[in-house]
Amino acid sequence: MVFRVSCVRRAGTRDSRRRVSRAHVAVAVTLIAAQSGMGAAHASVAREPEATLPLNISIDNGQTSVRQGDRLTYTIKISNTGDTETPELRVFQTTVPGLEVLSTTPEATASTKRIEWSKKLSGREEAEFSVTAQVGPQAPQMQRLTVVACASNKSSDRPVVCAAHSDRLETLGLPIESEESGAGLWYTIAGILVLLAVSGGIVGRRRLRRKTASEAPRDDMSGNMRL
């Protein structure tokens, strides 16, 4: 009886151990799966955006309206408003159809889309770049000539800062009318009208004199006949 009981107890102990070991395996698998899931979740989280560089940029050519044949000098100014040196920067100006690039200062790398320089800026440093170009033939529907300048980190194409300069496009046959030219046109028209009025008055007087002179002999003749 005791033997049988002990056998029963041992069998129960083995079953319980098997149950415990199986439970441990299940828990371990669950933990591994959870950890892998957490890793995947961490991997899917987007990186925080890079800190924006403290930069200012401007572009200007000193003009407000241009026409074909004009030679323009675009000046780009970029400054580091922070106290620490910037990484290598990519400073570039976009190219525009009908605007022929003649020279750059300092020397730049030119492509069909832009003119590019590389530059590091120390704290509070300002740098200047320039492009000399000539205005060529423009499409008839073009009303403005707009050029953009930007700066980005050398390792990225995404601009950090940008600026633009835009000029009115004058056509060769129809220059843009200013207030002074409009006033001059009205003065010209008024002068022509006055001249026409004066000349018309002179012609009218001459005709009246001729008519009076031609009627005078007829009166004398009629008088003689009456006598």
What is the per-residue pLDDT across 37-80, written as a single tens digit (0 to 9) for each? 444 333 344 444 556 899 999 999 999 999 999 999 999 999 99
- Strands (DSSP E) found in the chain: 55-60, 65-67, 71-80, 89-94, 99-105, 109-110, 114-119, 126-135, 144-153, 159-170
The fold of the 55-170 domain, in CATH, is: Immunoglobulin-like (2.60.40)
Measure CA 120 to chain center: 24
At residue 152's C-alpha, the angle toward residues 86 and 82, to 5°, is 30
Asked if 114 contacts 90 with a C-beta cutoff of 8 angstroms, the reply is no
pLDDT number for residue 68 = 96
> Looking at residue 157, what is its pLDDT?
85
pLDDT of residue 204: 55
pLDDT value of position 171: 79
* pLDDT for position 193: 63
Segments of the chain scoring below 50 in pLDDT = 1-11, 13, 16-18, 20-21, 24-48, 174-181, 220-227
Q: Dig out the tokens for 54 from the structure.
A: 């403290």
Are 102 and 71 in contact by the 8 Å Cβ rule? The answer is yes
Q: What pLDDT is stored for residue 36 in this prediction?
A: 42
User: What residues contact 176, with CB distance under 8 A and at least 6 apart?
Assistant: 65, 168, 170
pTM score > 0.85 for this model? no
Task: Supply 212's token pair.
Answer: 């009076």
**Running DSSP on this structure, what letter comes out for residue 227?**
-
Q: What is the CA radius of gyration of the chain?
A: 46
Q: Which of 40, 67, 96 is nearest to 171 (CA)?
A: 67
The sheet carrying 126-135 orders its strands as 55-60, 71-80, 126-135, 99-105
Report the C-alpha gap between 19 and 203 in whole angstroms. 131
